[in-house]
Amino acid sequence: MYTQAMDLPDPQAGTLQAVPAPAESALQQQFDGKMDADRKIEPQDWMPDAYRKTLVRQISQHAHSEIVGMQPEGNWISRAPSLKRKAILLAKVQDEGGHGLYLYSAGETLGTSRDQMLEGLHSGKAKYSSIFNYPTLTWADVGVIGWLVDGAAIMNQVPICRCSYGPYARAMIRICKEESFHQRQGFESLMVQMGGTPAQREMVQDAVNRWWWPVLAMFGPPDADSPNSAQGMRWGIKRISNDELRQKFVDATVPQARILGVTLPDPDLKWNEARAQHDYGVIDWDDFWAVVNGNGPCNKERLATRVKAHEDGQWVRDAALAHAAKQRARALKEAA
């Protein structure tokens, strides 16, 4: 679907007349006009190099996050406590894989191949979300990932449905619908566990204690330390800032924690009447940057697992290419 837009006629080839390209300043003006009118930019439209580069960076990081994000919960598929939970978890992890694939397709419309994007991930050059470098120690972690990690992902991703780049915005609409199911299944699983034994309730509380702060950091550095935010906002790629989204997430999650009967591990978390928002404690940004820079608890394991999965899948890619070559040869023979 996305790649069709890349099938542009080549003015040098065939009978098409080469049309003189408008001057760059005129193109920039058209682009700025679209930005001002809040219109979408599509793959065939002219766009400044920096806009294209920013999108490739963000979309590929996002795709990598979805793909690496299959691992922490994937570890629990064979250990899910019932057939029902196994079926739900299988569907969820499969959805994350699908999200990664739509996003790689959206990235390809910008002229960067999937192989190039994957090379960035496998060589350790490209980033993916910090949150997937933490371990899933118990079954409660799976519920907490659904509730908090997917909850944070939705908060961040709903505004991207209005992103200025058409293919990214459209991919996000379906992704957000699926993330919403993920969040609800996590919350429901935790509700069941909280209605269980004291040991089960303790397990849920322990998982919340371990995930809460990394989830808050997942929204990215504070606005004042976020080098990409200002330009991302001007280009309509980012609609709401890191800090604003983090605040919205805290405000939405506090009442949910109350319903579940868990405590959020922050002694400074309290309602601020004047701001009509919650105050919360200080995030450990040193820990966040250590994880982003490859030194989190599971970075090495996650990357090694991803690279091995890619290498183990080489035969599938080879077979698909051989099949496509055979089909093409047959079609040519039949046409002759």
CB of residue 220 to ligand FAQ, shortest distance in Å: 3
Binding mask 191-220 for ligand FAQ (x = CB under 6 A): ---------------------------x-x
- Tokens matching residue 236: 């309509």
SS3 content of the chain, % helix, strand, coil (to 5): 70, 0, 30
Pairing assessment for the beta strands 277-279 and 270-272 based on DSSP bridges: antiparallel
Residue from 60, 61, 193, 247 touching ligand FAQ (CB under 6 A): that is 61
By the rule CB under 6 A, 183 interacts with ligand FAQ = no
CA atoms within 13 A on the CB side of 279: 9
Which listed range, 22-30, 143-151, 253-261, 305-313, lies at the site for ligand FAQ (CB under 6 A)? 143-151
CA 314 to chain centre: 25
> Which of 41, 47, 56, 69 contacts ligand FAQ by CB under 6 A?
69
Q: Which of 85, 210, 238, 246 binds ligand FAQ (CB under 6 A)?
A: 238
The angle that helices 83-108 and 166-194 make with each other, rounded to 10 degrees, is 160
CA-nearest of 172, 214, 143, 174 to 62 is 172
Site mask, ligand FAQ, residues 96-135, x = CB under 6 A? x------------------------------x-xx-----
Q: Which of 147, 235, 160, 222 is nearest to 192 (CA)?
A: 147
Cα gap 306→279, rounded to integer Å: 38
Does 232 help bind ligand FAQ (rule: CB under 6 A)?
A: yes
Using Cβ positions, the residue closest to ligand FAQ within the complex turns out to be 69
Binding positions for ligand FAQ, rule: CB under 6 A: 57-58, 61-62, 65-66, 69, 96, 127, 129-130, 145, 149-150, 153, 156, 218, 220-221, 226-229, 232, 238, 242, 292
